[in-house]
Chain A
Amino acid sequence: GEDVEQSLFLSVREGDSSVINCTYTDSSSTYLYWYKQEPGAGLQLLTYIFSNMDMKQDQRLTVLLNKKDKHLSLRIADTQTGDSAIYFCAESGYWTALIFGKGTTLSVSS
């Protein structure tokens, strides 16, 4: 079945760039997403990319998609302590619900 894999932890210093990686197995994925979960809260959609795109930029966030390798990444420029959270990668087909990865815990130290 479909699967989404992420590394579990990433630690960076404030001001550095963070890159969170994700791989997925479903070649029919239509949309790929990044969600953010802060402590004690639900998931919040950060950004998404359609599968026919290679890159999407939104302020400090850059999403890169390599469809051939089924690899998705989220780059956060100028990482701040407020960016500390769990980041989830997810994929879906056109008519299917989201499949989430297990999440990457980003720790930002000052």
Chain B
Amino acid sequence: EIVLTQSPGNMSLSPGGGATLSCRASQNVNNNYLAWFQQKPGQAPRLLIYDASTRAPGIPDRFSGSGSGTDFTLTISRLEPDDIAVYFCQAYGTLYRTFGQGTTVELK
């Protein structure tokens, strides 16, 4: 069973600034099948990034994903109030569909 650990748990950032969210896997994520989801309060999760670095349709280029193997990163640039949300990573594949525990992004 793969375990995904996200850090930090919470971030309080200034509008216009940048955020770097980490997702570390307990074992290699095959084919870099790693996705990032954004969930705003009271809403469904929305797919941002898949295959570690491919933006989903309609996702602004302020969101970017990187990494491989066991270490993955979601970078958000030029933070906007609309980015306030919890961000989850997920490894998906034949043997696992595990989510990380989430990183909460707040604006100062």
Same complex for A and B? Answer: no
